[in-house]
Structure 1
Amino acid sequence: MTRTPLTGPSVWEGKDIRTSDRWIRTLTAEAVEELDAALKAVAGMPWHEITRDDFPLPTLDDLCDDIADELENGCGILKLRGFPVDRYDEEDLRRLYFGLGTHIGTPVFQNRTGELMRAIRDEGAHVGRTYGQIEGGQIEGGQIQDAQKGTTFLSSYARTLTNGGLRFHTDRTDVVALLCVRQARAGGVSKLASTPAIHNLLLERRPDLLEELFGVYWRSRFGEEGTTKETAYPLPIFGLRDGKFTSHYSLTFIEAAQMAPGVPKLTDKQKEAIDALMAAAEELCFEMTLEPGDLQLINSHVTYHGRTPFEDDAASGHDRLLLRLWLSMPNNRPLPEDHKVLWQSVEAGRVRGGIQQVTL
């Protein structure tokens, strides 16, 4: 198939976006007062029960619409500065954040137990036992290797809750929102890359590898709906529909599927395409440190995100804490039909994404 370069503001390189303020918004003092007034309207209410109607923002809906438009039709990333994180305890902060989130999109579940907001922090050595691990599996050097005895392979969900680095990936939602409450003593730098720009770089340098990424890669549901590595599904890394690009990618899910019996093994060309993808993301990305009060929003269809390892120092108040929402967006794009296996709905403007709930 003949591919052509992708165009538009979602095609950016780190060196350019780093010096741009297009993707940055700041809450005014008046906006903070409006948020505070909305919080008073839901005082004592469980944060996860708050609806858009419960949390009135009469003048901030224009800002929320602007955010949604920039994420879908603009550069695909946005930082909203000035969130008053020091003013509230964690429960009120969750009420405030979730209430605002309902004006931007629809929160969707982040795990199979119905979690709508996840505290992203280092939870210690038990995360694998709690959130998923496979004994006897290890991937080294970014390459797909056979499982080795005596090693532990953490699920993607578990890796998020360590202080380790995270490779470039997407989450299973239209938009990932990360509110920085506290930052680490060192590290924890956010890394972002434009996937349409990665597409174009591969089209220029290795069109044969680009074509591989439009083909099927098997993924495991391990750590999501599945509790074992055996539950796997086929999905391309890149997709196009009606001129709209999408990429869903997490190497961890691909690696986990490779450990499952019956899943086709990756070809050498597929492995080479993954390596080229990761190298292009590293080349085109930029790094930023979220400060307390920063809200980072990422359109997963056009952005990869990752982070560097971090070191906490709780005694000095520098123990990293981010609050994460997954949002299905009212103005989301159509997706290819073969993406239904992951998203359930692929038509534009539909609530979709998140983790399917397990019924016993």
Structure 2
Amino acid sequence: MRRSRRDLVPVPGHAPSLWAATDFSDQTSWAVDLTGDEQRAIAHYARHPQDGDLRLTLSHSASTWLDMLVEGPGFVLVRGFPVHTLALEHIEPAYLALGRLIGSLEGQDRQGSLTTHIRDERLPAGPGVRRYQTSQNQDFHSDASDVVGLLCLRPAKSGGLSRIISAHAVYNEMLRRDRDLTSLLLEPFPWSRHTERRPGESPYFELAPIAFVHGMPRISIIPWFIRQSQAHPAAPRLNPDQLAALDLMEEVMALPDLQVVMDFQPGDLQLLNNTTVLHARDAYEDHSDPALRRHLVRLWLTVASPVAERVLSGQA
């Protein structure tokens, strides 16, 4: 059902997905440490996956993380994944097994890759190079999954802070500032497909940045994908009002008082409810030694538990 500006109402103030940075006075409300037994279980599974099942040790903790994702603020930082003691070929299987405790693994590209390595690939600038393959900043955006995980293997020499923000707080502030511009974002905007394009497929697609699912707003946004659609002559032209609406969203997402900032350390695993939380990354300076360069591993998950289905769809 199409909504008019008169139909738009703020997300209720009691919603756990509606928060600002001031709601979290310290990290204890969103950061948890793996116990020694949990770390040993992960390390053992990584080297001997045929010998064990992480559910025996980690099912209770994973349930707590899921509660924080779907019934709490929508994010959690899990610290202590034993990256220091494991080779990369052992880290990935254990990481995937941990992800399966929360949801179903989801492919991230046309090839169905279950992990994506987030690092500066030192590639020449061009339309086929994605921002996560560079050291540039990534503005606030959403990913195409219920939950997104980022496991830090190595941080940058400097910079690269992770920033997250409540999508519902963004929506409410946009409504407060300009209801008419906000309503424009419920209509389809053109997005560039970049390299994710099948043979014969259009170089762009259309998607509304804001959609309502069971009465709750969901923001799907990668601002630079929308702006870069204008490089394709066949894509619909963005009119001044649409550009102003996009500017408004970016202006609100840039408000420091709404942002929670995380400085990743090796073994940190950030999990985000991608339907209620937007994330960004600061630009960074990396080490000259390739073995020391910033390296994160991304995971996409579909969450199918009854509680998660209700909350992620906006029914709770």
Question: Contact 1:229/1:257 (CA < 8 Å) preserved in 2?
Answer: no
Look up the match of 2:300: 326
Look up the match of 2:49: 42
Offset of 1:320 from its aligned partner? 0.3
Offset of 1:317 from its aligned partner? 5.8
After superposition, give the CA deviation of every residue in 1:267-293 in whole Å (9 maximum; x if it has no partner).
211111111111111102232211111
Alignment of 1:288 with 2:288, yes or no, is no
Offset of 1:297 from its aligned partner? 0.8
Question: Contact 1:202/1:210 (CA < 8 Å) preserved in 2?
Answer: yes
Structure-2 change in CA distance of 1:38 and 1:83 (3 Å): same
Look up the match of 1:165: 137
Offset of 1:229 from its aligned partner? 9.0
Bigger Cα displacement from structure 2, 226-235 vs 187-196 = 226-235
Look up the match of 1:300: 274
Question: Contact 2:37/2:57 (CA < 8 Å) preserved in 1?
Answer: no
Look up the match of 2:3: none
What is the one-letter code of the residue matched to 1:111? D
Match of 1:174 among 146, 164, 167: 146
CA separation in 1, counterparts of 2:30 and 2:136?
27
Structure-2 change in CA distance of 1:213 and 1:82 (3 Å): same
Look up the match of 2:250: 278
Question: Contact 2:214/2:314 (CA < 8 Å) preserved in 1?
Answer: no
Higher normalized contact order (CA 8 Å, seq sep 6+, divided by chain length): 2
Structure-2 change in CA distance of 1:333 and 1:258 (3 Å): farther
Offset of 1:253 from its aligned partner? 1.9
CA separation in 2, counterparts of 1:347 and 1:308?
30
Question: Contact 2:70/2:311 (CA < 8 Å) preserved in 1?
Answer: no
* SS of equivalent residue, structure 2 residue 60: helix
Look up the match of 2:91: 93
CA separation in 1, counterparts of 2:236 and 2:311?
25
Question: Contact 2:167/2:219 (CA < 8 Å) preserved in 1?
Answer: yes
Question: Aligned ranges for residues 60-209 of structure 1 at < 5 Å?
Answer: 60-126=58-124, 128=126, 133=127, 158-209=130-181
How many residue pairs get aligned? The number is 304
Structure-2 change in CA distance of 1:83 and 1:205 (3 Å): same
Instruction: Please give the TM-score of this superposition, normalised by the length of structure 1.
Output: 0.77
CA separation in 2, counterparts of 1:38 and 1:227?
40
Alignment of 1:5 with 2:3, yes or no, is no
* SS of equivalent residue, structure 2 residue 57: coil
What is the one-letter code of the residue matched to 1:72? V
CA separation in 1, counterparts of 2:201 and 2:131?
16
CA separation in 2, counterparts of 1:82 and 1:302?
25
Structure-2 change in CA distance of 1:22 and 1:228 (3 Å): farther
Question: Contact 1:41/1:55 (CA < 8 Å) preserved in 2?
Answer: no
Offset of 1:347 from its aligned partner? 11
Bigger Cα displacement from structure 2, 56-65 vs 315-324 = 315-324
CA separation in 2, counterparts of 1:335 and 1:66?
15
CA separation in 2, counterparts of 1:88 and 1:9?
36
Question: Contact 1:220/1:229 (CA < 8 Å) preserved in 2?
Answer: no
| Sequence identity (%) | 30
Offset of 1:40 from its aligned partner? 4.1
Match of 2:283 among 309, 317, 324: 309
Structure-2 change in CA distance of 1:33 and 1:249 (3 Å): same
CA separation in 2, counterparts of 1:291 and 1:270?
39
CA separation in 1, counterparts of 2:314 and 2:274?
16
Question: Contact 1:166/1:308 (CA < 8 Å) preserved in 2?
Answer: yes
Offset of 1:314 from its aligned partner? 4.5
CA RMSD, Structure 1 to Structure 2 (Å)? 2.6
What is the one-letter code of the residue matched to 2:262? M
